[in-house]
Amino acid sequence: MAHAQRTQRQYRLSLPAPQVPTGDCNLWSILKNAIGKELSKITMPVGFNEPLSFLQRMTEYMEYAHLLRLASEQDDPISRMQYVAAFAVSALGSNWQRLGKPFNPLLGETFELERSEFRIICEQVSHHPPVSAFHADSEHFVFHGSIHPKIKFWGKSVEITPKGVVTVELPKWKEAYTWTNVNCCVHNIIIGKLWIEQSGTMEVVNHSTGHRAILDFKSGSSSKDMHRVEGFIVDKDKKKIKFMYGKWTELLRSTDPQSYEDYLKENSHKFKSEKEKKDSKLDSSPAHTPKRVLAKLNSLKVSPFKASVSTDNDDGPDDPPEGDIPPSESTYSIDIPNSVTLWEADQRPENSTDYYNFTRFAMALNEIDQELKGKICPTDSRLRPDIRKLEEGEVEGAATEKTRLEEKQRETRKRKSTTSKKEEKWKPRWFNLEPNPHTNQEDWIYQGGYWERNFEGIEDIF
């Protein structure tokens, strides 16, 4: 009955206040000394944040959790793999146009969420390096993992590498699936309209049967490839069983390999040639940022999330067009006969652009209703005053609170480093570092007990 009541609940579809323009900010003065370096230790103005903690952002994995329920309900291992792979792709859908940086979680910070299809607990288990662990479960599945995001600035783009393996378990079938998410790149950091692409290869492995879904996320250097993802499900002998295709922003479909081959013969113009692949000019390292462009940027001011028009028209032949977002060709579509649609992205609220381009799911993540008041853990992200103030449109207040929390965290760390060795060092409350039973690699594994809600002795971190 509790599940049914949660299903009927109406969650908010907007934030308390629209996103506040923060004016010009000399971003280049902040980032120019960070080319090729990790950004996790660089303090960014709060105007570049969105009002969510990374723990909350990580919870957006679960927006399409029903796909894991569907996977568990399938009798055939290929069908189960299709839905697990669709879930892995769907987790990236909310990233499109999400240009705000989530707040870095404080050590010991937590976030919980209960919905009709699942419940999830997240905890910040390490500060240096920053590691966020999560554990979600339902009667149909268990989903867990830890993420250690690496963020680097390459002159004109920021690359986010989501290090960490995630695991899905389907208890009914005694199956476990693992994969690592692909890289995310934010382009036009200094000049132009920001845009995001996901690129690389995602390999979803069924450790019980040996099946693999090998999905290629195309680089957006061509309108035909913008957002495109495609690949095959293969068995343990590498025989192709299903062809999967779609766009990580919109949908994922599946068909048999023969239907794909027949379609390819008639529609080769819809697929990118090898020559086109070699002609890609997207920047991926400092070598792609010409010296005169770097010099030009020194005096440039950029408003967060907005376009900045370049007045220099002497771009050389090696420079990609500045300020442009590669179009996703509207006339381009692949609809192969005998296909089944596994996942389609939900439509975002009409006012999404006023609220950090949040999805419906994201809009409600920082909401505290009457049922939650006095119930959630004191370290829950919803109780962070800096995130709350940004959500309410108080940018200066958010910046003040963010600084206060960071200083408090530093003081706590300093105090603990000088305490007696007899005192127990800080350790996560809900997770422990131990081998993942399916990969044998070290992972942060949930120890249980959170949902009993015994929060006695929880440290005041806010």
Give which of 14, 11, 22, 200 is closest to 99, Cα–Cα: 22
Yes or no: say if 174 and 189 are a contact pair by the CB < 8 Å rule: no
d(CA 150, CA 165): 14
Yes or no: say if 320 and 281 are a contact pair by the CB < 8 Å rule: yes
pLDDT of residue 20: 87
pLDDT of residue 312: 35
Which residue type does 299 have?
A: S
Tokens 């662990």 sit on residue: 133
pLDDT of residue 198: 87
pLDDT of residue 150: 82
Which residue type does 135 have?
A: H
Left if phi > 0, otherwise alpha if psi is -120 to 50, otherwise beta: which for 393? left
Strands 118-126 and 131-137: antiparallel
Q: What does the angle CA 178 – CA 183 – CA 186 come to, to the nearest 5 degrees? A: 150
Q: Which residues of the chain have pLDDT under 70?
A: 1-8, 22-42, 220-223, 272-332, 419-424
Q: What is the pTM of this model?
A: 0.85
pLDDT of residue 28: 61
Domain 29-268+327-417+424-452 has CATH 2.40.160.120: yes
d(CA 402, CA 374): 23
pLDDT of residue 373: 87
Query: Cα 55 vs. chain centroid, distance in angstroms?
Result: 10
pLDDT of residue 281: 41
